[in-house]
Amino acid sequence: MINNEIIEYHVSEEDILSRADLFIKNKFIQFSRSQIKKLIDNKYITINSYPIKASTDIKRNDLIKIIVPQEQKNTLTPSELKLEILYENSDLLIINKPFGIVVHPSKGHLNDTIVNALLGMNIEFEPTLGERKPLLVHRLDKDTSGLLLVAKNERTYKYLSGIQKKREINKYYLAVVNGIPKKKYATIDAPISRNKSQRKKMNISPDGRESMTTYKVLQSSNKMSLLELELHTGRTHQIRVHMQAIGHAVVGDELYGKKSKLANRQMLHAYKLEFTDSIKNIISITNEPEKDMKEFIEFYFNN
């Protein structure tokens, strides 16, 4: 039997009262907002022995009881896929994601994702509310390759998510696009939202979320261009949507462009990450494209 940790607190006359989730977040700083939500949803937090909602009002003399589940067996299945680790320390790692692999488990991809692969490797992930699992700071599309940042514990995840929101994680991509942009260097500032008629797609929309991408043309040849792109925001399919919007869809991107006779997947690679970690070390990692994209660039741009 697992012995869970139990935390109790009596609300005093000096306490500033508020709704339960806010009160608990202020009193128990060891928990993040997402952890508190998970604890409430799973009825691990009670007030006067009754389960609560996030919006439950805290009152004087209430007895708050929090059950913190201890480590339990992962519900996710580890896989045997070995990923290349390009950087690692005690708090985080940066992996090279191959193209053709989904990042998170979902319907149709329960056991063959990047998360399953990380669980199958000899990596020490700190338990989060009883479950030991990798915490991915950002995502890459299935057919996009390249650098993926992973936190080993909740504290590092919160820090990295925080600096990501402040745009202090610099993310650079390489892409081969159709056509030759008129401007050699430009920033695309266009909000993105989900397409209402095609749920798998995103599109430019006035009521979408702020989205900004800067591109620079590195080479042009054979009615295609090799671009370096910097993401200032991290919306779903952002580069693919923005490049389609200016008439230069990523080569091989069948969702936002068309099937290519030259490539069997979208030519998009996350090749550089730069950020400062929680102890002020500057981390800068670069990574060449996979063999297929590297050979594509060599053949069509360097011959």
Given the residues 21, 62, 141, 253, select the one marked as catalytic. 141
Q: Cα(260)–Cα(252) distance, rounded to whole angstroms? A: 5
DSSP state of 72: B
C-beta neighbour count of 248 within 10 angstroms: 22
Backbone angles phi, psi at 201, to 5 degrees: -110, 155
Q: Is 141 a catalytic residue?
A: yes
Nearest to 67 by CA among 44, 36, 99: 44
Cα within 13 Å of Cα(173), Cβ side: 27
Q: Cα(290)–Cα(96) distance, rounded to whole angstroms? A: 9
C-beta separation of 204 from 192 below 8 A: yes
Q: Cα(12)–Cα(4) distance, rounded to whole angstroms? A: 26
Catalytic positions are 141
